[in-house]
Amino acid sequence: MMSRQLAVSGRILIVDDEERQCTALVAMLSGCNFETQVASDGQEALERLAAFNADVIVADLVMPRMDGFELLRRLQERGNHIPAIAVTGFGSMEKALSAVHDLKAFWFLEKPVEPHAFKALLERAIRYKRSLQRAEGLQRDLSLRGILGNLVGTSPGMHQIFSLIRQVAPTSAPVLICGESGTGKELVAREIHACSPRRDGPFVAINAAALPETLVESELFGHEKGAFTGAMERSAGCFEQAEGGTLFLDEIGEMPRATQPKLLRVLEDLRVRRLGGKREIPVDVRILAATSQAAGTHLREELYYRLSVFQIVVPTLREHKEDIPPISEVILQNLNKKHGTRIAGVDAEVLDLFQRYDWPGNVRELRNVLERAAIMAGEGSIGLANLPSPAFSVSSDSHTRPSPGHEGSTLLLPGQPLAKLEEAYIKLTLEHVRGNRKLAAEMLGISLRTLQSRLSIQREEADAATPGA
């Protein structure tokens, strides 16, 4: 019985310094639907690719000037996803495996190349390339509809964020993501990772504000057994855990100042030394960092410059209120899945109220309001009755001008202890942002750490003042 193979057509770039080998490979493909071009080394291949839109690259690994290994490395660096078949001579199997494993070459072929295997592999590589293109096309369609992964928005501001993400994702450049609390900085970081050639590698996040200062360095760089009291076992740090992937340094502005130069050194050398360790370990990690603009000023200048090679400023929700309806729709779909609710949408009056509200807590606050409302409503549409009561304040500058007589506010009278005023002011701000400490710190222009320490002092004083405490 004859088996009929699907004829696949495509453009093949063959890279080999031996002219005879090139000619032989081209001859094997005669009669197939392939358009072929040849280059005699990596350098020439890169030049050809500027004009020749190849579907597959077939590259000899050992060549003068620029070898196949270096060619694949350069292509990977540029975020180029053309599947490559590495051709290896006798004795370079290790290199071939490393090309497949480290440089994500599609596969390898041993010399002498067997025509049948060659054609079969080419067909598979082209089909793979086509499926990548289809996936990219779907992504583009989605982003035209205002969706990139989990990020939603059709406003010009969000479109700009989408295109910045697409521009920077294929590279390995560090990115500093700035924006108020709850604007979607972490979502942007995850999307950069998901659109990058490192997408199959790990995404490791570390939040400097959530760790005691004494632990930040061992979390980042790891430690050897006995490096400090309590270091019972050796442990790999975030840099090592993120090998081959992305490390997300959240709240980078809260990174202890003494740690910042050490972090900078790792970013420059791409080598880490565990605490108490002697050996330097090379790491292949892409760094993304996030900060609220205010907290960014706590960064040392050198580190700031290193991280902000590329900056993405995520807009506040009040700057793209036109995105509230589509964002709400996607959030509600996710909440339905999470809670088993059957919410179809949001009433027009509610959307109207949403448009007039200022959203100091940004998309996270919108999500929280919708989550509570969805649980209350259970099904149907979210109405005014499902919103927190009293309905949230809709005055446009409510958070900059606390109303006098507001519970928790202190009248400005001369001669009161500063500490008392400070305490009242912190409380007032915290109430306004419904306990979101990070947002409160941002509004007060202090670091989260400072806010937390002020709160614990207040708590201790209150405890001391309580009889029997």
Ligand X SMILES: Nc1ncnc2c1ncn2[C@@H]1O[C@H](COP(=O)(O)OP(=O)(O)OP(=O)(O)O)[C@@H](O)[C@H]1O
Q: Which residues lie near ligand X (CB under 6 A)?
A: 150-153, 179, 181-187, 327, 330, 363-364, 367, 438
How many CA atoms lie less than 13 Å away from 180 in the CB half-sphere?
21
Question: Which residue, 186 or 319, has its beta carbon nearer to Mg ion?
Answer: 186
| Partner in contact with 222, chosen from ligand X, Mg ion, none, beta carbon below 5 to 8 Å by kind | none
Among 18, 35, 110, 186, binds Mg ion (CB under 5 A): 186
Question: Which residue, 42 or 174, has its beta carbon nearer to ligand X?
Answer: 174
Comparing CA positions, the residue from 215, 317, 315 lying closest to residue 275 is 215
Comparing CA positions, the residue from 56, 51, 53 lying closest to residue 15 is 56
Residue with the shortest CB distance to Mg ion: 186
Question: Which residue, 367 or 449, has its beta carbon nearer to ligand X?
Answer: 367
| Partner in contact with 151, chosen from Mg ion, ligand X, none, beta carbon below 5 to 8 Å by kind | ligand X
SS3 content of the chain, % helix, strand, coil (to 5): 45, 15, 35
**Structure tokens that stand for 272 in this block:** 């880490």
Question: Is there a contact between 221 and 169 (Cβ–Cβ < 8 Å)?
Answer: no
Question: Which residue, 103 or 209, has its beta carbon nearer to ligand X?
Answer: 209
| Smallest separation, CB 292 to ligand X (Å) | 6
- Around Cβ 405, how many Cβ atoms within 10 Å? 7
Question: Is there a contact between 49 and 43 (Cβ–Cβ < 8 Å)?
Answer: no
| Smallest separation, CB 251 to ligand X (Å) | 7
Question: Which residue, 274 or 298, has its beta carbon nearer to ligand X?
Answer: 298
How many CA atoms lie less than 13 Å away from 321 in the CB half-sphere?
12
Question: Which residue, 44 or 358, has its beta carbon nearer to ligand X?
Answer: 358
| Partner in contact with 153, chosen from Mg ion, ligand X, none, beta carbon below 5 to 8 Å by kind | ligand X
Residue with the shortest CB distance to ligand X: 184
| Smallest separation, CB 362 to ligand X (Å) | 7
Question: Is there a contact between 119 and 287 (Cβ–Cβ < 8 Å)?
Answer: no
| 437 near Mg ion (CB under 5 A) | no
Question: Which residue, 10 or 174, has its beta carbon nearer to ligand X?
Answer: 174
Give the 3-state secondary structure of residue 68.
helix
N-terminal to C-terminal alpha carbon distance within the chain = 90
| Partner in contact with 361, chosen from ligand X, Mg ion, none, beta carbon below 5 to 8 Å by kind | none
| Smallest separation, CB 252 to Mg ion (Å) | 11
| 205 near Mg ion (CB under 5 A) | no
| 102 near Mg ion (CB under 5 A) | no
| Partner in contact with 184, chosen from Mg ion, ligand X, none, beta carbon below 5 to 8 Å by kind | ligand X
| Partner in contact with 129, chosen from Mg ion, ligand X, none, beta carbon below 5 to 8 Å by kind | none
Q: Whole-angstrom Cα distance, residue 63 to residue 30? A: 25
Please identify which residue in the block is written with the tokens 């410059």: 305
Mark 270-290 as b/e (b = at least 16 C-beta within 10 Å).
eebbbbebeeebebebbbbbb
Q: Which stretch binds Mg ion (CB under 5 A): 71-79, 186-194, 317-325, 436-444?
A: 186-194
Rg over CA atoms, the chain: 28
Question: Which residue, 144 or 258, has its beta carbon nearer to ligand X?
Answer: 144
| 18 near Mg ion (CB under 5 A) | no
Cα pseudo-dihedral 225, 227, 231, 233, rounded to 10: -10
Q: Are strands 281-282 and 235-236 parallel, antiparallel or unpaired?
A: unpaired
The CA distances from residue 35 to 13, 14, 54, in Å, are: 9, 11, 9
Question: Which residue, 96 or 363, has its beta carbon nearer to Mg ion?
Answer: 363
| Smallest separation, CB 109 to ligand X (Å) | 44
| 207 near Mg ion (CB under 5 A) | no
Q: Whole-angstrom Cα distance, residue 88 to residue 102? A: 16
| Smallest separation, CB 48 to ligand X (Å) | 41
| Smallest separation, CB 186 to Mg ion (Å) | 4
Q: Which stretch binds Mg ion (CB under 5 A): 11-19, 131-139, 178-186, 421-429?
A: 178-186
Question: Which residue, 207 or 241, has its beta carbon nearer to Mg ion?
Answer: 207
| Smallest separation, CB 363 to ligand X (Å) | 3
| Smallest separation, CB 208 to Mg ion (Å) | 12
| Smallest separation, CB 390 to Mg ion (Å) | 29
| 213 near Mg ion (CB under 5 A) | no
Give the DSSP H or E segment for 401: none
DSSP string, 97-144: HHHHHHS--SEEEESSPPHHHHHHHHHHHHHHHHHHHHHHHHHHHHHH
Under the rule (CB under 5 A), what is the footprint of Mg ion?
186
